[in-house]
Structure 1
Amino acid sequence: MNTQTTPTGQGPISRILAPIRTRLLIAATLAGIGTIFTMIPLAGMAHIAQILATASDQAWELSASSKRDIAWVVTASIVSVFIGMGSMFLGELIAHLADNRLTHHLRQAVLSRLAQAPLGWFTGQTSGQVKQAMQDDIATLHSLTAHFYTAVGRALGALSISVIYLLAMDWRIAVITLLPLPGFFLFLHRLMQSSKANMGEFVIRLEHMNSAINEFISGIPDVKAFGTTGQAYRGYQDAVNSFADAFDRFTRPLVASMAHVHAMVTPVTILGLTLLCGTISVVNGWTTPVDLVPFILVAPGICAPLLLLHTLLHDLGSATGAAQRVMALLETPILQAPLSDQQPLPANNEIRFDNVSYAYDNGHRGLSNLDVTFAAGSVTAIVGPSGAGKSTLARLLLRFFDPTQGRITLGGVDLRQLSTATLYQYIGFVLQDVRLIHASIRDNIALGRPSASQQEIEDAARAANIHERILALPGGYDAVVDDATQLSGGEQQRVSIARAILLDPPLLVLDEATAAVDASSELVIQEALARLTRGRTLIVISHRLDTIRYADQILVLDDGMIVEQGNHDHLLTQHGLYARLWALSNATSTLESEVSTC
């Protein structure tokens, strides 16, 4: 079941359903055959009516042959109902098993694909978009695979056998009775075209609204804290209003067509035409009243399959959009894998950027022509104003994405020649934005080394100054990280430090590791980081220049380029950007001290 192939000329639904298409066609065929068998009793009723109408005795005493005919018809009708029910059951079973196989495969395939995606890809996606594709859209495809094809099979089976039967009974009355059908399909075609024209905008606005809702809910504490009701709600209100406008444009053209479609194939319309044509035929002696019974029994039943087809085709439009979004996830760009199984191992812990440039998808330049070496065992600090490219440099080193030009080597080996697992054995990181998974504290710490013993996990937690806090939690190391287990930002940061300590990488990247915590938490984290960084190659990104003044090398970035390089004392003598940032940092520290004494 290879979802990565993209055959030309195939729509998203065809590509999604390719692995189970044969099963779905079998299921639809069985459902259609089952429906045909369950409609045989209607023909049996009409036949019994004809037997009764032709009985010669006015006292309705039937002959033995008539009784045998009626018994045969009743028996055949009962048997056909059971055969039909069995066939439909088998069709539904096949469809649901195929759906289970497909949805399981899609979820696994999406998860596998996203696991190979560069971590930088996730920064450009909203949680609402990914959630919609992985949860809502796959649920929409479940309705398509589990119910759509069997429902279409039932509708086509009922429609085809009804038309054939009525034409066989009396083609003249059948033609008049079925006159609304061409009009029905004409308006249905217009309905589908109108729906398709505005479906794209409808789906886009829905995605934006889902994202706005997620962002709004996450920001409610700040909104309430600052008492804002205008600007804070505007993004959410704009997204909801835009969706409402798109929904109006999507549904308005459909209303008239839907009204015409439903009016043309209501049972009253079909039965009225049947009785009108039948009455004329009986009055003119072209047929007998009993010959109208098949039309009265069967013709109104055509309405339900037709209206079901209308509903199913409308749902097909939603399924097409869902399939497109799921396919987009399955085609997410992935990091280039090593070309061979024989991966070269780094000779040492030296990192080198060789003419490295990176540009984002929107064309914004992140880094330009970087040539720099991070010596093994050294401490390098990266500073610069906001937007200078500091975090981009760190994320390239961690291979959140690959450079658009040049190469990055670890111990002489291009990072693209190392598997992700191998790379993260050499490079650990503690970032500003901590993400703990929904699992136990133990599993969160042992994320990089699942085989670690309990003693090793506890030793790492002690080194990160988080062991006592974990023991205080209900369940201790077995406590699951969720809404019930409340960890502060500083405590979550220390769990991530324990994770890095347990992994014990020779090279460590710290990206504003204490930027989002209070002063007391920062002191505890700094002590944990001091233990973690001993004897390692260290790359530190920080806006607190007093914490990096003793670094062996300081890189000053501005607009994606290295504008200054050297140690603290050397850079101060240059009276350049670093000197200005240092003066600003001192002024800020002085101001903070004055404020704290108030």
Structure 2
Amino acid sequence: MSSPAPAVPPTGPDPDRQPPAGVHSLWRLRGYLRPHLPSLAIMLSTALVGVGLSIAIPLVTKAMIDGPITDGDIDPVLPLGLLALALGVLEAVLIFWRRWVQSTTVLSVETRMRHDLYARLQELPMAFHGRWQSGQLLSRVTTDLSSIRRFFGFGMLFLVINVVQLVVVTIVLLNMYWPLGLVVVATAVPIITLSNRFERRYVLISRRVQDEQGDLATLSEEGAVGIRVIKSFGRSRHVSEAYERAVTTLYDTSMDKVRLSAKFWTFLEIIPNVAVVVVLLLGALGVGRGDLTPGTLVAFITLMLSLVWPIAALGYILAMAQEAMTAAARILEIFDTEPAIVSGDRVLTEPEGRLRLEGVGFAFPDEPDRPVLHDLDLVVEPGETVAIVGATGSGKTTLTALVPRLYDVTAGRVTIDGVDVRELELENLRTIVATAFEDPTLFSMSARENLALGRPDATEEEILEAVEVAQAAFVHDLPWGLDTRIGEQGMSLSGGQRQRLALARAVLAQPKILVLDDTLSALDVHTEKLVEEALRRVLAHTTAIVVAHRASTVLLADKVALLQDGSITHVGRHSDLLATVPAYRELLAADVEELEEVGA
């Protein structure tokens, strides 16, 4: 059994912390865009040329109206019309080219980010994963990455295009007829003021929505993985109500976000429409007084209408930018977490398997003042098997996790063949050490792939031998034998079957040090006896640590270590400890008669 886990917050290290979600969050991800600078240059240049073409077409229209149409000269109309058509076709071609380059670039960036984020999660130690809900991590890998992709693929480029278009068109309008140009400039004041207020409020509510989506993902995952427990206790309604409360909370927050966005976008829609009405009125008066030509008024209105979309889209783009910035800040929480367990640079090419724990102490990072283990010493010689016996919560599982560096000691050291495990390459260390857990994890892949997870190059004969040792012959009775796909978490199998597959996986790895964390707890007595008989052959040539609760499991060991209050107090043959250590005999009291029957 594992030691009591430290108290953890519900949604990560600090759910109340609101990391800054400014432009710098996205800027820190610029390394993903750097390899695509040529593509970005193409996207930007084609977009800017497109802006120029969209401005040129109304100017051609102005020339057509004020020139040949006003003068009654029809001959130049066709060439000017064909010029406008050519400009429109060229703009369409540039849009197609830009979007094709844009899609390819953005998908490449997203793929690389997704790969790096997953790799980072694999690098981070168990202490990190123990503090974070899986739903929060899943939300960052899926929803947050999608938010960043949408901004990189649409918002970032159009933010630049729209700002450039607004500035250039405004300058052109001022040159055409400055009184009307001032009307357009005047609309920028309320837009800028409102955008600043919107940005501050939107970033907070966007973070809340994304965090609540992570909580909901956690509940969804737990409901699927724990469906057997939920049904067996008849708690379907209870978990459904908890899920419904989380859904309602997310709905309410999302509606607050929608209302805020709706107010902003509505205001942005009103401003340009009001400006168009004012321009039409003043422009008509200007034409009547002869201050501007009809062609100028048509071109002016056409260009001003071309600003309606950039202004209206500004709200959507700013909202997208804020979501992307918040998503970037959440993802950077993972990237900024430095792995507490870093690979060393030493390699044991021919390990003997001598394991030594010297003055070992360990405390969880969240509770450094409450050590789980302290002053722990143990020596396991090559080929020797040691059983770890202790009360529930005494730290047995934590002790076994220190050997493959799932956690690092906080005091003392663990050595293999005299080398501190912290000096070894992690890949090398975890080739030397293999672990089978009490609650094994199986993946949604075939039985063969699950078995070969720790040793992909294993031969068919070696796989079958490992299956035989673990008494896992039931895999041959599956619909497609070893090639049968096992459901998620192996829920289609019984607890004993999952444990036997996990044991076969550890045995197949052929480690020099084998750690069995109460791996036989779910087996029936008959199967356990068969497994133990087969294990004796494997353990005869392997250094092993076996967490034991049953008398029969203790008998596998050459010696027994009694773990009390976080430290090993007695080491010896189990018969000697049974006779001389009351605490040891009390732990195995239920099995005393069995021990005596087998000659203990």
Q: TM-score when scaled to structure 2?
A: 0.85
Aligned to 1:329: 334
Q: Distance in 1 between matches of 2:224 and 2:498?
A: 22
Q: 1:54 aligns to what SS in structure 2?
A: helix
Structure 2 partner of 1:466: 472
Q: Does 1:73 pair with 2:77? A: no
Partner amino acid, structure 1, of 2:347: Q
3-state secondary structure, aligned to 2:500: helix
Q: Which has the higher contact order (CA 8 A, sep 6+)?
A: 2
Contact 1:176 1:274 in 2 (8 A): yes
Residue 15 of structure 2 is matched in structure 1 by none
**2:57 is the alignment partner of 1:41:** yes
| SS of corresponding position for 1:399 | coil
1:298 and 2:294 equivalent? Answer: no
| Residue in structure 2 matched with residue 32 of structure 1 by the alignment | 48
* Offset of residue 25 of structure 1: 5.2
What SS is found at the alignment partner of 1:32? helix
Matched, 1:539 2:552: no
Cα–Cα, structure 1 residues 428 and 106, in superposed 2: closer, same or farther, change >3 Å? same
State which of 159, 174, 181 in structure 1 corresponds to 2:166: 159
Letter aligned with residue 90 of structure 2: I
Which range moves more in the overlay, 381-390 or 225-234?
A: 225-234
The question of 1:11 aligning with 2:24 is answered yes
Deviation of 1:332 (Å)? 4.3
Q: How much has 1:255 moved relative to structure 2? A: 5.0
Distance 1:31 1:290, change over 3 A: closer
Amino acid at match of 2:391: P
Residue matched to 1:353: 357
For residue 74 of structure 1, give the secondary structure of its aligned residue in structure 2. helix
Change (3 A) 1:98 1:221: same
Kindly tell me: are residues 489 and 271 of structure 1, through their superposed partners in 2, closer, same or farther at Cα, counting changes over 3 Å? same
Task: Report Cα offsets for 1:423-478 as digits up to 9, x if no partner.
Answer: 233222211122233433333222232222222222322333334x3333333333
TM-superposed deviation, 1:191: 0.6
The verdict on how the C-alpha distance between 1:237 and 1:542 changes in structure 2, with shifts beyond 3 A counting, is: farther
Q: Is the 8 A contact 1:346 1:412 kept in 2?
A: no
Deviates more, 1:119-128 or 1:302-311: 119-128
Quote the residue 2:215 is aligned against.
Answer: 208
Q: Unaligned stretches of 5+ in structure 1?
A: 1-8, 56-61, 590-598
AA of the residue aligned to 1:142: R
Deviates more, 1:412-421 or 1:82-91: 82-91
Residues 1:193 and 2:200 are matched in the alignment? yes
Distance (whole Å) between structure 2 residues aligned to residue 247 and residue 541 of structure 1: 49
- Structure 1 residue 535 displacement after superposition: 3.2
| Stretch of structure 1 that moved more, 309-318 or 423-432 | 423-432
Shift of 1:247: 3.7
The question of 1:367 aligning with 2:373 is answered yes
Q: Is the CA contact (8 Å cut-off) linking 1:116 and 1:334 kept in structure 2?
A: yes
Number of equivalent positions = 568
Question: What aligned pairs does 1:456-535 form with structure 2 within 5 A after superposition?
Answer: 456-467=462-473, 469-482=474-487, 486-517=492-523, 522-523=528-529, 525-535=531-541
- Residue 378 of structure 1 contacts residue 552 of structure 1 at CA under 8 Å; is this kept in 2? yes
Aligned with residue 269 of structure 1, among 274, 284, 288? 274
Q: 1:519: Cα distance to partner?
A: 5.3
**Cα distance, 1:285 vs. partner?**
4.5
Once the two structures are superposed, residues 34-73 of structure 1 have per-residue CA deviations (whole angstroms, 9 ceiling, x without a partner) of: 2331443233223322235522xxxxxx43xx522x2332
Within 5 A, what are the aligned runs for 1:99-248? 99-119=106-126, 121-228=128-235, 231-233=238-240, 235-247=242-254
Letter in 2 for 1:423: L
**What residue identity is the alignment partner of 1:162?**
V
Q: Is the contact made by 1:53 and 1:290 (CA closer than 8 Å) also made in structure 2?
A: no
TM-fit CA distance, 1:311: 0.5
> After alignment, is 90-99 or 272-281 more displaced?
90-99
Partner letter of residue 31 of structure 2?
A
Distance 2:149 2:319 in 1: 16
The 8 Å contact of residues 98 and 145 in structure 1, kept in 2 or not, is answered as no
2:536–2:556 CA contact under 8 A, matched in 1:
no
8 Å contact from structure 1 (residues 137, 322) kept in 2? yes
Higher deviation after alignment, 274-283 or 315-324: 274-283
Residue 93 of structure 1: aligned partner: 100
Deviation at 1:373, TM superposition (A): 1.6
| TM-score, normalised via structure 1 length | 0.85
Identity percentage of aligned residues: 25
In structure 1, what is the Cα distance between the partners aligned to 2:256 and 2:468? 60
